[in-house]
Amino acid sequence: MLAYKKTPPELWSGRTSEQKLYLHEKVHCGTIDEIEIAENQKTIVLLGYACDEGVKRNQGRIGAVNGPDTIRQSLGKFPNHLEDDFQFIDCGTILCPEGKMEQAQEDLSQTIAQLLSLNTFPIVLGGGHDIAFGHYQGIKKHLGNKKIGIINFDAHFDLRLNTPGNTSGTPFYQIAQECQKEGAVFNYMCLGVRRDANDKTLFETADSLNVKYLETAHFNMHYLEHVQLILMQFIEDVDHVYTTLDLDGFSSAYAPGVSAPSPMGFAPNIVLESLRVIMDSKKLISLDIAEMNPTYDSDGQTAKLAASLVHYVMHHK
C-alpha cells in the first residue's frame, strides 16, 4: 500500500490578492487520483519525497525528510506569472515509514509513471538524493526503450557501489547497473563535481561508465559557452532528459541547509543558464530537487533558493 500524505492547503500561504497574484492562490491541493486534465492543458504537478533514510545510511546529516514541505512554504509566497489556463497541482508526498527506503523509491516510481501518463510535468521535492533512483525508474516505466539522458547538478557523482546497501550516494550506480542488465546505454552527465568531495575510485567508476562531467572549476559563468556546448551535445544524443538538482552542489554561501555543505560549490547563475538550455531543447520530461535540509538552513535561504529554482522552471517550461 502506498505510504502517502495529501498536502493540507493551509501549508500554502502568503500575501493575498483577488487576481491570484501569488502561487499559494494558484495551487490546487489534491490526491494523485483526483487529477483531471483537459486536452492539451499544460499542467505542472508537485510531488514530495519525504525520505532521508538514504542520507542516514550514507553517514550524512539527517533532516531532509522535512525538505518538501519547507520548499512548499517558501514557494507559496512567490509571484504567479502562469497563464490562467495553466494548472498547478500539489498532489502530496511519498513517505518512508520505518526506514523502508526501497519501498519509498518504488512508490515514487509508480507515481511518476502515473503522472507522466496523464501528460503532466512532475517536479519532485526531496528528500535525499536516493530520490533519483525511484524517479528515473518511473520515467523508464513510462518511456520504455526511449533514450533517457540524466543531467545531475551536484558536487558528488553519487556512483558509490551499492554492495553494502543502497544509500543516497548510490542512485546513479544503481541506474548504471540496470542499464547494463538491459543492454542500454547509461547516459549520465554530472555538472559541478568537486575533487574534494569524491575519492579517486569514484572518478575511476565515472570514467569506466563513460560518465560526462564538468568539475566546479569549469562550471561557472566564465566558461558559459563551453557549458552550453557540452549540454547541447549531450541532449542531442538522447530522446528525453531527466534533470536532478542536488542543493549540496551549490556553495554553502547560497545553500547552507543541505546534508553535505561546502563553501566550494557552484553559484545559482550558471545553473539557471544551464536549465535554460535544457528547457529550450523541449526534451525535459521531469525534474527533482534533492537534499533540502531545513534543520541547518539559515533564514530560510536554502528553501528560497530551491523555491526560486522551481519557480524558474515552472515559468519557462
Residue 1 has a pLDDT of 64
Residue 2 has a pLDDT of 87
Asked whether the beta carbons of 178 and 164 are under 8 A apart, the reply is no
Residue 98 has a pLDDT of 96
- Residue 256: pLDDT above 80? yes
The string of pLDDT tens digits covering residues 95-118 is: 999 999 999 999 999 999 999 999
Is 299 assigned a ligand-binding role in the annotation? Answer: no
**Percent of the chain residues past pLDDT 90, beyond the cut:** 96
Instruction: Please give the average per-residue pLDDT across 117-133, as a whole number.
Output: 97
Residue 39 has a pLDDT of 74
- Residue 19: pLDDT above 90? yes
Residue 34 has a pLDDT of 86
- DSSP for 288-313, please give it: EEE-B-GGG-STTHHHHHHHHHHHHH
Is 315 assigned a ligand-binding role in the annotation? Answer: no
- Residue 5: pLDDT above 90? yes
E strands within the chain? Answer: 4-5, 28-29, 43-50, 87-95, 121-126, 148-153, 187-193, 212-215, 240-246, 284-290
Rg (CA), the chain: 18
What does the block give as the cell for 305? Answer: 533558493
Q: Looking at the chain, how many residues does it have?
A: 317
CA distance 210 to 157: 12
Where along the chain do its domains lie? 4-314
Instruction: Please give the average per-residue pLDDT across 193-203, as a whole number.
Output: 98
Is 129 assigned a ligand-binding role in the annotation? Answer: yes
CA distance 59 to 44: 34
Closest CA to 224 of 267, 254, 284, 287: 267
Total Cβ atoms within 10 A of residue 184: 15
88 strand-pairing partners: 44
Asked whether the beta carbons of 115 and 135 are under 8 A apart, the reply is no
Is 85 assigned a ligand-binding role in the annotation? Answer: no
Tell me which of 3.30.70.580, 2.40.50.140, 3.40.800.10, 3.40.630.30 is the CATH number of domain 4-314.
Answer: 3.40.800.10
Whose grid coordinates read 515552472? 314
Is 135 assigned a ligand-binding role in the annotation? Answer: no
Task: With 0.95 as the threshold, say if the pTM is over it.
Answer: yes
Is 107 assigned a ligand-binding role in the annotation? Answer: no
What does the block give as the cell for 87? Answer: 494548472
Instruction: Please give the average per-residue pLDDT across 37-61, as a whole number.
Output: 93
SS3 for 52-70 is CHHHHHCCCCCCHHHHHHH
Whose grid coordinates read 519547507? 70
Instruction: Please give the average per-residue pLDDT across 82-102, as a whole number.
Output: 96
Helix, strand, coil percentages for the chain (3-state, nearest 5): 45, 20, 35
Task: Kindly tell me the burial class for residue 145, based on how many C-beta atoms sit within 10 Å of its own C-beta (0-12, 13-18, 19 or more).
Answer: exposed
- Average pLDDT of every residue of the chain: 96
CA distance 287 to 212: 19
